[in-house]
Structure 1
Amino acid sequence: MQKSSGACKSMKTMLAGIQRCWLMAACVALFCLGNLLAAELSEAEKAWEEFQLASRTPPTPKEWRTQRPTNEEYAQYLAKVKATLATAADKAKDFYTRFPNDPNAGRARRKEYEFLNRLYSMGRKDLEPRLVALEKARLAETGLSEEDRFEIRSKQIERRVHALQEQGAAAMTAEMEKGARELQKEFPNNPEVYEMLYAVAVRSDAEKSREVAQELVKDARAPQAVKERCTGLLKRMEALGKPLELEFTAVDGRQIRISDFKGKVVLVDFWATWCGPCIAELPNVLKTYEELHPKGFEIVGISFDADKEALLKFIKEKNMPWPQYFDGKAWGNKFGQEFGITAIPTMWLVDKKGVLVDMNARAQLAEKVRKLLAE
């Protein structure tokens, strides 16, 4: 009995030792697995931090707030922005490829798409195949939200519009309306669809503009803000075909009355020195003025600037001899408020009789002026 009891004790001791070994092995395995997971987690966190740092576009130089950059300085800055966006897009792709199950993977995909679209709009047309591939992959995803699907579809249409730049503003506006109508069918309750249609109304000729604005005012799905802007647009259009009343003291002291320009064709240009599209349009305006001013073409500027000295310096540098209205109120500009101007540049044409005949003169400006001069 004593030997048997001793054997039992030895067996229990051995089993207890085996259990301890198993427990220690399990702990070691769990410890190693935890380390592996922690290593992977910290690697993903590190990669995400690198992506976020790479996404920071270079700030605009402080001196540009008071001094306009030269073309060379702006081109250098733009090149830096493009390089930053390209690097960030690549890092976003690298992140979601390496860590497809990370909570930030979906965000990385959206950021890559955002950065590539920005680069495309800045002239990187070579990125279109990559954008198309991304869109195809994302649209095939199960559970893609309607918001994401709308973003993809709207960006596709935006590229279609930009592709027609060489054909002019009229062709781009027509394509914008076509795309907006497609989105209206696919996303009838998305407010951005109606913002696009309002943009079409603003950029179209008088007949089309009135048609689209009236449609939006009546459409129950259109946001109230869009309805209000369309109402303002329709009020402005009431002035179309009637004599334009405009009188002021120009920034250089000249007394200006549109009625004094009868017998001449007048461009009324609502603009600002801080407005990129306005500045981009200026070479065309100057060229038209130089060619047709001797034949009876005049320009009246309505400046939305707040800084008088900046305005005077700019018009002197660019050799803009025509009169400028300035009250320093920017978007609160007297005539901007009176005529309901919500976007610049806005260009109106007044014929030889002093009648407002065109509220979208940017498109084919020189051709329109020649036609009016010939009347």
Structure 2
Amino acid sequence: MRKEHEFLSKAVSMGDQSQSARLAAVEKARLADPNLDEDDRFDLLSQKLNREVRAKMAEDRAAAFAEYEKGARELLKLFPGRAEVYDMLLVAAQQKEGPQARELLDEILKAEKAGEKTKAQAAALVKKMESLGKPVDIAFEAVDGRKVDLKELKGKVVLIDFWATWCGPCVAELPNVLAAYEKLHDQGFEIVGISFDQSKEALTKFVAEKKMPWPQYFDGEGWANKYGKEFGINSIPAMWLVDKKGNLRDLNARAGLADKVRKLLDE
């Protein structure tokens, strides 16, 4: 039954929804087995949660992540000794803003069972949150030769887009970013790309094909990217908004990007 579950799970994750009912039945049967060990039970429940959340993501991203946090907390009750649950709560915290995010991060930092890597990532996120309301120091020569300095963009609203051409969610988000740029650029909206690519050729080719007119930072270091390390970026896409005074205002600009930009432009 394990092999059948693995096959069905892979099929559904690849988009074959015709196997969903059979997968649910196999999962139910496996979870009903009193001899199922803790690791397998946890894996089954966490995979089920991930699958359900992914299915809801396209409809309502915020509601999907709220459901994810709720599911993670249910897993925490069932498996209080599992460090992986705190990894899940960290993912949920990354989608929150302000006091709600800080409260969840503090919970992770205080948890005895949370892994050291998870705590380090939570601490880095707290540090980023403490940067809100302060200037962002970014200056570089873009891949196309343009000089970029955020200090010189005061009076503009700037999106700092940490991304890569190999990042599926980054590419999926691009139409929304392009649409916001096309609508609001003439009103004072700018974008600065921070690429985590390791191939300059791949980056320049992608930017040209997708007609992305904003400047791109590139150093070829991948996850060791200069600004990625400096700002504690451990997952992408990450989108920050800087206001017209040059201060960081939003660490999670993906949701409702155009509306957030309009609000800052109106200040």
Query: Residue in 1 aligned with 2:48?
Result: 156
Task: Please list, as runs of the form range in 1=range in 2, the aligned pairs for 1:263-342 lying within 5 A after superposition.
Answer: 263-342=155-234
Q: Greater relative contact order: 1 or 2 (C-alpha under 8 angstroms, separation 6 or more)? A: 2
In structure 1, distance between residues paired with 2:56 and 2:140 = 39
Deviation, structure 1 residue 131: 1.6
Residues 348 and 360, structure 1, Cα contact 8 Å, conserved in 2: yes
Alignment TM-score, normalising by the size of structure 1:
0.69
Tell me whether 1:130 sits opposite 2:40 in the alignment: no
Residues 302 and 326, structure 1, Cα contact 8 Å, conserved in 2: yes
Letter in 2 for 1:344: I
In structure 2, distance between residues paired with 1:166 and 1:275 = 18
Residues 168 and 363, structure 1, Cα contact 8 Å, conserved in 2: no
In structure 2, distance between residues paired with 1:280 and 1:166 = 11
Deviation, structure 1 residue 207: 2.4
Query: Residue in 1 aligned with 2:129?
Result: 237
Task: Please list, as runs of the form range in 1=range in 2, the aligned pairs for 1:76-225 lying within 5 A after superposition.
Answer: 109-225=1-117
Deviation, structure 1 residue 181: 0.6
Q: Secondary structure at the match of 1:343?
A: coil
Give the 3 Å change call, closer, same or farther, for CA 220–169 of structure 1 in structure 2. Answer: same
Query: Residue in 2 aligned with 1:43?
Result: none
Tell me whether 1:246 sits opposite 2:138 in the alignment: yes
Bigger CA drift: 315-324 or 135-144? Answer: 135-144
Q: Secondary structure at the match of 1:167?
A: coil
In structure 2, distance between residues paired with 1:291 and 1:138 = 51
Bigger CA drift: 286-295 or 109-118? Answer: 109-118
In structure 2, distance between residues paired with 1:327 and 1:285 = 23
Q: Secondary structure at the match of 1:352?
A: coil
Deviation, structure 1 residue 364: 1.5
Q: Secondary structure at the match of 1:357?
A: strand
Alignment TM-score, normalising by the size of structure 2:
0.96
Q: Secondary structure at the match of 1:300?
A: strand
Letter in 2 for 1:111: K
Tell me whether 1:368 sits opposite 2:260 in the alignment: yes
Q: Secondary structure at the match of 2:39?
A: helix
User: Residues 165-222 of structure 1, C-alpha deviation per residue, up to 9 Å, x if partnerless?
Assistant: 2333212211111111110111111121111011111122232222111111111111
Tell me whether 1:352 sits opposite 2:244 in the alignment: yes
Deviation, structure 1 residue 142: 2.7
Deviation, structure 1 residue 110: 1.8
- Say which structure is richer in helix: 1
Letter in 2 for 1:309: E
User: Residues 305-326 of structure 1, C-alpha deviation per residue, up to 9 Å, x if partnerless?
Assistant: 1111111111111101101111
Q: Secondary structure at the match of 1:256?
A: strand
Q: Secondary structure at the match of 2:88?
A: helix
In structure 2, distance between residues paired with 1:209 and 1:111 = 39
User: Residues 73-123 of structure 1, C-alpha deviation per residue, up to 9 Å, x if partnerless?
Assistant: xxxxxxxxxxxxxxxxxxxxxxxxxxxxxxxxxxxx222212322222232
Query: Residue in 2 aligned with 1:10?
Result: none
In structure 2, distance between residues paired with 1:124 and 1:325 = 38
Letter in 2 for 1:258: L
In structure 1, distance between residues paired with 2:99 and 2:216 = 30
Letter in 2 for 1:346: A
Deviation, structure 1 residue 156: 2.1
User: Residues 122-175 of structure 1, C-alpha deviation per residue, up to 9 Å, x if partnerless?
Assistant: 322332211211111111213111111111211221132123223332122111
Tell me whether 1:228 sits opposite 2:120 in the alignment: yes
In structure 2, distance between residues paired with 1:357 and 1:236 = 11
Deviation, structure 1 residue 332: 0.8
Residues 206 and 358, structure 1, Cα contact 8 Å, conserved in 2: no
In structure 1, distance between residues paired with 2:125 and 2:5 = 35
Residues 246 and 257, structure 1, Cα contact 8 Å, conserved in 2: yes
Number of matched pairs: 267
In structure 2, distance between residues paired with 1:369 and 1:122 = 35
RMSD: 1.3
Letter in 2 for 1:317: E
In structure 2, distance between residues paired with 1:112 and 1:231 = 40
Larger radius of gyration: 1
